[in-house]
Amino acid sequence: MSGEVDCPGDKSISQRILILGSLLNCDMEIDGFLDADDPNSTLDALNKLGASIHRDVKRIYLKKRSITFCNPSEDLNLGNSGTGARLLLGLISGLGIKSRLVGDYSLSNRPMSRVISPLLEMGANIESKEGTLPITTNACSINDDYEYLMPLASAQVKSCLLLAALSSKNNIKITESKITRDHTERMIEFFGGEIYYGNETSFGQIELKNRDLSTKDYYIVPGDFSSASFIIVASILADNSEILIKNVGLNKTRSGLIEILLLMGANIVIKNKKILSNEAVGDIIIKSSNLNGVDVPENIIPNIIDEIPILSIAAAFASGKTIIKNAAELRVKESDRLNAISKGLSKLKISHEMFDDGISITGTKDEIECDDIIDSFDDHRIAMSFLISGIRSKNGVTVQNCKNIETSFPKFKDIMNSLGMNINEKN
C-alpha cells in the first residue's frame, strides 16, 4: 500500500459545530464537514428545530434567523447517531423545547439514562422509554450552578450537560474521574467562552462560567482521527507500505491510539503540526511495521474507546499478547463491540480471551485463512476493522452488513482501494 490521502472530516466535531453554531445564531461557513449519515441526521434535526443550515458540494452554511428555535412539528430522528441524540438532548433541555427524539433500532437500544438522570437533576422535563429512545422533552427551567460528579467517563455526557447549561445561560461544574475528549470545551473557548479547569487538587474538574459567546464567520473541521486509524493500521500491516494522511485531528484526548501503536513498535511520524479552530492538526506518515503486544494502560481507554476495534486487529498480528481492560463501555456502543470483536477474531482463528470489561489477544505473524463470513453486527467500526484484517489473509476476508460504514466514513472503500487494498462489494 502507498500514496497520500486527505483525512475525512471529524464526525464528532462536525456534529458539535452544527449544534453550537445554531445556538450562536449567526452567519457562518463550515469547511471540512463530514457528509455522512450521523452528522446529516443532526443537521436535519436542527433544521426541524428552526435552524437555518444549508450546504453545497464543499461547505456548510449557517444563516442568522429572526426566530432562534421552535418546537418541532415532527419527531427528531437521529438515525444511528448516539452523539447527535445525547448532545441535542442537552441543547433542547436547556432551551425548554417540547420535542420527541427517535432513532433506528440500534440507537433505540442504547442507554440514555446516563444523560437523562443528570438533566432531570438540573431541572429538565424528560420522559423516556425506560431510559432509551423515544425520549420526550417539555418546557422546563434549568438550575444554575449545578454540580455533577460523573460516575463514568463519557465525553457525550459531559458535552450534553455543558450544552444544557450554555443554552439555558447557567453555570455548571463537572468533575470526571478520567479525562475524556474535550472537543466541546475547545469549541466553547474558540467562540470566547471561559472554561475553568481544575488543578492538582481538583483533577478532572471543568467549570463553565462565561456563557456570552462571540460569533465567528468561519470554522474549519479537522480530519477525523477515528477514520484515520483504519488507514494507519492498514499501512502498518501491509508489506512495503508507506502512506501519508493529511489534515488529521491530533487532539491529545482523541489520538491515544498513536501512543499505543508507538509502544507496540509502529513506524509513525507526525509533521506539519498546527492549530485550526482551536484543534491540533497535522499530517501522519505511516510505514510497514512489526508490532509487539502490550498491556494497554487503563487510563488511556476513554480516549481510544472508538479505536479499540481496529487496535484489536493490530494486536491480532503483533508478536505476543495485548491486553485491553476497563473497556466495558464497548458493550453499549452501536453493538456489543467486545462480543463482536471476539466473534470476528474467532473466525480469523486468532487466539483470544474475552473479559467482562475487555479482551486479551495473542497475535500471529503468519498470514491467516478465513473461510467464514464475519458479521459486523450493523456496526461501522467493526465492519471496517475486519475488512482491514483482510490485508493479512491468504484468501481475503468477507464481512456482511457493511452499509453502516456510511454513518461515519462514506468513502472508506474508495480511499482504501486507492491506496492499494482490494475491497469489493458483493450482492
Enumerate the active-site residues: 306
Cell for 385? 476493522
Cα separation, 306 vs 290, in Å, equals: 23
Tell me which residue has cell 459567546. 213
> What is the DSSP code string of 394-423?
SS---EE--GGGGGT-TTHHHHHHHTT---
186 three-class SS: helix
Farthest-apart Cα atoms in the chain, separation: 64
Contact 219, 279 (CB under 8 A): no
Cα separation, 97 vs 263, in Å, equals: 48
Cell for 363? 497475535
Alpha carbon separation from 192 to 66, 212, 353 (Å, rounded): 23, 8, 48
Residue 214 gets which letter from DSSP?
P
Closest CA to 235 of 280, 291, 281: 291
267 three-class SS: strand
Cell for 314? 493490530
CA atoms lying within 13 Å on the CB side of residue 150: 26
Cell for 375? 458479521
Closest CA to 165 of 192, 137, 143, 188: 143
Is the bond into 134 cis (omega within 30 degrees of 0)? yes
Residue 84's contacts (CB-CB under 8 Å, 6 or more residues apart) are: 15, 38, 39, 41, 42, 45, 78
> What is the DSSP code string of 36-89?
SHHHHHHHHHHHHTT--EEE-SSEEEE---SS-----SS-EE-TT-HHHHHHHH
